[in-house]
């Protein structure tokens, strides 16, 4: 619930359940209660520019039940199938037209010009069916390809007679009476989406030596794992489609950073290991002074993005030999660039937020002026609203990312309506009932993060260096604190050292709980130990704070703090080493959008204690596959940990139970194989949807374009001005 007091009245925004709002006003003098529209409610907060996307979407189909939020594709299939059903038997049929568009380097993949319209296609399908009936279903497609071509069918129907015939049956069924399952099965088989662009502009994006830097965490891990899984899925589909000479191409597009700090971020092209057809393409940030040489925080990238989109667009076309079939944006900057590119190239756009900052920083909208100098949230939130509305589909890692829980707001839901006083108010920013939302959860690389009890796969040769790392005497600048009693189980945590990750909070909870300190050691991996070694303001602050906490609580001997560990393979073995010693992983964040470390630790069989604020609350089933902890009640969290370790000491079965619960949970829900299959199917369905509904979406896009020009550009100019003033101040000093 939110309340605003104004002019002798109190206005309430009540949220009886997920995604549902009710607004009212009570006049204090008369005690009269009036219902309010959302717009009237927001008028209480300020009287400013109002952005409303609702009128553009009012004729679009919407989900109606909160529990179907995040299953947009199911709903869309139902809607599309009834729409196709209505257009049945006509000469025009959207599927026929769509199939004509499917090609690879100018070569048609489904139909050729022997078939002129949908009715002819229907007759040709019958003819082809009779023809294929005379062949064994296992017959390779090459043996019948010429016969099929004479009837108007090209090579993309399947790799064997049986599969091609089956695909044709699906189409014939759709043309007769379209049902959602058949439509999904048919669209899922179509040969398309061979050229994929994945945008992640802010650095550092690389394959080595980058993890744990201020802005380089899960997004990089996610994208690299995603690329490998997608390539496997694309190759499997191309093979099943019976296509020869067709190769997938995946480009991860990021910024080139000349001052690369020992990483490969100054190289234009880098092959992605574990793939055959995927590369990182780096394009520099430019401004009127030329190429930007150094890393800048993700909060400061806004002035560079429009030019980056233009430059990257040219380089992408050159690398791919044409335009991509699908553009996937990541995080606010990537999603804005994806919107600009997909608008210009008319390509299907997928949005992945990873984390929407508005939810991470409570009341960041109303307090935007206070925060703007450091974070430029006005530009970021504006970019987010533009991208989420421009995108054809949005994938999220959890349900809560869209619509929260009974008691917490979802990240997208948080953009339904909000206000930045003095700037503008959003009346309908995004609708969580929009069918563009789909939950597609990531996993953890199973070659790296596997259970501690898989003895044959264990990297025992790394144990001496891991023991040195955990129990050695090395201190600053690489570590702080030497553990007095290495025999105790370890509470382990690893994250970027920023305010929201709350590693300093964990140190405080541990410091304040005598029982826990007696039972365990605390090992924290994060950031830098010497504050002079970072230029990031939050990392510097947190680093200094950690030193103070260690001193205040006298944690030397019980806590070991290690700088960011950038080798994922060794990190995997560290999780398992901690599991060998019957330890646990803690994710103490004040807000965690998803939380890959939670999935990594669970995949290694570690019991986890993870924040209830955000995605981990959904990943972890409390007391079965780990424990939910409230970062705003740290002493209670520390008690929960102490109870668990005490119980496990008395009854080792308890630890095993939770560890097995962890493993089972990730195997069931969080794997990259499931992810890739689903993303490839979604990209086909939403591309088809874009094709049949593009005219209707055009109005929204025009409105967004106006919003970009009238609001986003001035905000970017403001950031630019502030950065120029800062530079001038530094030069003077």
Q: Quote the CA–CA distance of 400 and 341 in Å, as a whole number.
A: 29
DSSP character at residue 272: P
Q: Quote the CA–CA distance of 595 and 355 in Å, as a whole number.
A: 10
Q: Is residue 592 within the footprint of ligand LCN (CB under 6 A)?
A: yes
Q: Is residue 565 within the footprint of ligand UDP (CB under 6 A)?
A: yes
**Least distance between ligand LCN and beta carbon 363 (Å):** 19
Distances (CA, A) of 254 to 130, 269, 312, 322, 564: 51, 10, 9, 19, 22
Q: Is residue 596 within the footprint of ligand LCN (CB under 6 A)?
A: yes
**Closest CB to ligand UDP among residues 594, 655:** 594
565 interface partner picked from ligand UDP, ligand LCN, none, CB below 5 to 8 A per type? ligand UDP
**Closest CB to ligand LCN among residues 69, 619:** 619
**Closest CB to ligand UDP among residues 393, 591:** 591
Distances (CA, A) of 153 to 169, 212, 512, 702: 14, 52, 72, 38
**Least distance between ligand LCN and beta carbon 65 (Å):** 27
Task: Map the footprint of ligand LCN across residues 326-355, applying CB under 6 A.
Answer: 354-355
Residues 218-257, mask of contacts with ligand UDP (x by CB under 6 A): xx-x------------------------------------
**Bond preceding residue 477 cis, omega within 30 of 0:** yes
211 interface partner picked from ligand UDP, ligand LCN, none, CB below 5 to 8 A per type? ligand UDP
**Closest CB to ligand LCN among residues 397, 640:** 397
Task: Map the footprint of ligand LCN across residues 445-474, applying CB under 6 A.
Answer: none
Tokens in use for 226?
């995603």
**Least distance between ligand LCN and beta carbon 202 (Å):** 12
Tokens in use for 577?
């080493």
**Closest CB to ligand UDP among residues 184, 493:** 493
Residues 498-527, mask of contacts with ligand UDP (x by CB under 6 A): ---------------------------xx-
**Least distance between ligand UDP and beta carbon 530 (Å):** 15
Long-range CB pairs of 134-140, under 8 A, 24+ apart, other chains included: 135/161, 136/161, 137/161, 137/162, 137/165, 138/162
**Closest CB to ligand UDP among residues 137, 362:** 362
H, E, C per residue of 621-669? CCCCCCEEECCCCHHHHHHHHHHHHHHHHHCHHHHHHHHHHHHHHHHHH
**Least distance between ligand LCN and beta carbon 595 (Å):** 5
Q: Quote the CA–CA distance of 733 and 729 in Å, as a whole number.
A: 6
Q: Which stretch binds ligand UDP (CB under 6 A): 345-353, 596-604, 606-614, 720-728?
A: 596-604
Q: Quote the CA–CA distance of 482 and 557 in Å, as a whole number.
A: 5
525 interface partner picked from ligand LCN, ligand UDP, none, CB below 5 to 8 A per type? ligand UDP
Distances (CA, A) of 286 to 291, 344, 395, 721: 4, 20, 30, 16
Q: What is the CA radius of gyration of the chain?
A: 27
Q: Is residue 212 within the footprint of ligand UDP (CB under 6 A)?
A: yes
**Closest CB to ligand UDP among residues 330, 391:** 330
Q: Quote the CA–CA distance of 477 and 487 in Å, as a whole number.
A: 25
Candidates 56, 153, 222, 381; binder of ligand LCN (CB under 6 A) is: 222
Q: Is residue 200 within the footprint of ligand LCN (CB under 6 A)?
A: no
**Closest CB to ligand LCN among residues 434, 618:** 618
Q: Is 409 helix (H, G, I), strand (E, B) or coil?
A: coil
**Least distance between ligand LCN and beta carbon 593 (Å):** 4
626 interface partner picked from ligand UDP, ligand LCN, none, CB below 5 to 8 A per type? none
Distance of CA 669 to the CA centre of its chain: 16
Tokens in use for 295?
């890393």
Q: Is residue 593 within the footprint of ligand LCN (CB under 6 A)?
A: yes
**Closest CB to ligand UDP among residues 253, 610:** 610
**Closest CB to ligand LCN among residues 445, 592:** 592
Distances (CA, A) of 207 to 93, 224, 265: 46, 8, 9
DSSP character at residue 708: I
Tokens in use for 320?
């791919």
Kindly report the number of other CB atoms within 10 A of residue 698's CB atom: 11
Closest residue to ligand UDP, Cβ-based?
217
Torsional class of 31: left (φ above 0), alpha (ψ -120 to 50), beta (otherwise): left
Helix 118-133 / helix 94-101 crossing angle, nearest 10 deg: 70
Residues 384-403, mask of contacts with ligand LCN (x by CB under 6 A): -------------x------
| Contact by Cβ (8 Å): 379, 337 | no
**Closest CB to ligand LCN among residues 398, 521:** 398
**Least distance between ligand LCN and beta carbon 326 (Å):** 19
Kindly report the number of other CB atoms within 10 A of residue 285's CB atom: 22
**Closest CB to ligand LCN among residues 536, 558:** 536
Q: Is residue 568 within the footprint of ligand UDP (CB under 6 A)?
A: yes
Q: Which stretch binds ligand UDP (CB under 6 A): 217-225, 283-291, 396-404, 426-434?
A: 217-225
Q: Which stretch binds ligand UDP (CB under 6 A): 244-252, 309-317, 342-350, 494-502?
A: 494-502
Measured CA angle at 478 (ends 449, 219), to 5 deg: 40
Q: Which stretch binds ligand UDP (CB under 6 A): 117-125, 210-218, 323-331, 713-721?
A: 210-218
Q: Quote the CA–CA distance of 472 and 361 in Å, as a whole number.
A: 37
| Contact by Cβ (8 Å): 587, 568 | no
Tokens in use for 678?
């689903």
Q: Is residue 663 within the footprint of ligand LCN (CB under 6 A)?
A: no
Q: Is residue 620 within the footprint of ligand UDP (CB under 6 A)?
A: no
588 interface partner picked from ligand UDP, ligand LCN, none, CB below 5 to 8 A per type? none
641 interface partner picked from ligand UDP, ligand LCN, none, CB below 5 to 8 A per type? none
How many CA atoms within 13 Å lie on the side-chain side of 46?
A: 17
**Closest CB to ligand UDP among residues 76, 448:** 448
Task: Map the footprint of ligand LCN across residues 86-125, applying CB under 6 A.
Answer: none
Q: Provide the residue count of the chain.
A: 733
Q: Which stretch binds ligand UDP (CB under 6 A): 72-80, 187-195, 488-496, 698-706?
A: 488-496
| Contact by Cβ (8 Å): 247, 193 | no
Nearest CA-CA partner of 453 in 599, 603, 568, 586: 603
Candidates 121, 470, 494, 549; binder of ligand UDP (CB under 6 A) is: 494
| Contact by Cβ (8 Å): 387, 336 | yes
Q: Which stretch binds ligand LCN (CB under 6 A): 214-222, 238-246, 542-550, 721-729?
A: 214-222
Q: Quote the CA–CA distance of 177 and 81 in Å, as a whole number.
A: 8
Tokens 């050695």 correspond to what residue?
A: 472
517 interface partner picked from ligand LCN, ligand UDP, none, CB below 5 to 8 A per type? none
212 interface partner picked from ligand LCN, ligand UDP, none, CB below 5 to 8 A per type? ligand UDP
Q: Is residue 600 within the footprint of ligand UDP (CB under 6 A)?
A: yes
**For binding to ligand UDP (CB under 6 A), which residues are involved?**
211-212, 217-219, 221, 494-496, 525-526, 564-566, 568, 571, 594-597, 600
Q: Which residues bind ligand LCN (CB under 6 A)?
A: 218-219, 222, 354-355, 397, 592-596
């Amino acid at each position: 619930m939110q309340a605003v007091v104004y002019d002798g009245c109190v206005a309430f925004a009540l949220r009886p359940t997920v995604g549902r709002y009710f607004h009212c006003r009570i006049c204090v003098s008369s005690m009269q209660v009036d219902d309010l529209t959302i717009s009237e409610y927001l008028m209480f907060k300020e009287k400013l520019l109002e952005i409303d996307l609702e009128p553009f979407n009012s004729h679009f189909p919407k989900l109606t039940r909160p529990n179907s939020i995040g299953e947009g594709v199911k709903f869309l299939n139902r809607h599309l199938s009834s729409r196709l059903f209505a257009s049945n038997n006509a000469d025009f049929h959207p599927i026929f037209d769509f199939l004509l568009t499917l090609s690879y380097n100018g070569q048609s993949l489904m139909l050729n010009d022997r078939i002129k319209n949908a009715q002819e296609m229907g007759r040709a399908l019958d003819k082809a069916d009779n023809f294929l009936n005379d062949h064994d279903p296992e017959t390779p497609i090459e043996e019948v390809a010429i016969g099929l071509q004479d009837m108007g069918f090209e090579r993309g129907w399947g790799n064997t007679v049986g599969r091609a015939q089956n695909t044709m049956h699906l189409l014939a069924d759709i043309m007769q009476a379209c049902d959602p399952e058949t439509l999904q099965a048919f669209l899922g088989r179509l040969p398309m989406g061979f050229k994929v662009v994945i945008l992640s502009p802010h650095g550092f994006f690389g394959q080595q030596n980058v993890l744990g830097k201020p802005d380089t965490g899960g997004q990089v891990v996610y994208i690299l794992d995603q690329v490998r899984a997608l390539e496997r899925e694309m190759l499997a589909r191309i093979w099943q489609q019976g296509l020869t000479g067709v190769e997938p191409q995946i480009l991860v597009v990021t910024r080139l950073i000349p001052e690369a700090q020992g990483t490969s971020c100054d190289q234009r092209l880098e092959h992605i290991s574990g793939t055959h057809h995927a590369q990182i393409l780096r394009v520099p940030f430019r401004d009127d002074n030329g190429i930007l040489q150094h890393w800048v925080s993700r909060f400061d990238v806004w002035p560079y993005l429009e030019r980056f989109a233009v430059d990257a667009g040219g380089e992408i076309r050159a690398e791919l030999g044409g335009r991509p079939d699908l553009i996937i944006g990541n995080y606010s900057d990537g999603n804005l660039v994806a919107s600009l590119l997909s608008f210009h190239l008319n390509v299907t756009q997928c949005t992945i937020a990873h984390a929407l900052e508005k939810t991470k920083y409570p009341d960041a909208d109303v307090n935007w002026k206070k925060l703007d100098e450091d974070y430029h949230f006005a530009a970021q939130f504006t970019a987010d609203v533009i991208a989420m509305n421009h995108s054809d589909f949005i994938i999220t890692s959890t349900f809560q990312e869209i619509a929260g829980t009974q008691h917490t707001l979802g990240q997208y839901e948080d953009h339904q309506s909000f206000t930045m006083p003095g700037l503008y108010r959003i009346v309908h920013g995004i609708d969580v009932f929009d069918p563009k939302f789909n939950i597609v959860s990531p996993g953890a690389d199973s070659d790296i993060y596997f259970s501690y009890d898989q003895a044959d796969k264990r990297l025992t040769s790394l144990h001496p260096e891991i023991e040195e790392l955990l129990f050695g005497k090395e201190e600053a600048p690489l570590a702080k604190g030497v553990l007095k009693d290495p025999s105790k189980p370890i509470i382990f945590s690893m994250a970027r050292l920023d305010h929201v990750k709350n590693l300093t909070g964990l140190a405080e909870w541990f410091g304040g709980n005598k029982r826990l300190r007696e039972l365990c050691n605390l090992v924290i991996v994060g950031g830098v130990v010497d504050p002079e070694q970072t230029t990031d303001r939050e990392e510097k602050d947190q680093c200094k704070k950690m030193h103070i906490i260690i001193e205040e609580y006298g944690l030397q001997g019980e806590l070991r703090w290690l700088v960011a560990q950038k080798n994922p393979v060794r990190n995997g073995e560290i999780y398992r080493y901690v599991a060998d010693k019957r330890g646990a992983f803690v994710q103490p964040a004040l807000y965690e959008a998803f939380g890959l470390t939670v999935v990594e630790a669970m995949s290694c069989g570690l019991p986890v204690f993870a924040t209830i604020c955000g995605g981990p609350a959904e990943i972890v089933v409390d007391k079965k596959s780990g424990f939910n902890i409230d970062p705003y009640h740290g002493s209670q969290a520390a008690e929960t940990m102490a109870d668990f370790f005490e119980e496990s000491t008395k009854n080792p079965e308890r630890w095993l139970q939770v560890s097995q619960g962890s493993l089972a949970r990730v195997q069931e829900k969080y794997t990259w194989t499931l992810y890739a299959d689903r993303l490839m199917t979604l990209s086909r369905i939403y591309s088809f949807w874009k094709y049949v509904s593009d005219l209707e979406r055009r109005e929204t896009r025009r409105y967004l374009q106006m919003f970009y020009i009238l609001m986003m550009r001035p905000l970017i100019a403001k950031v630019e001005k502030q950065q120029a003033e800062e530079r001038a101040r530094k030069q003077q000093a």
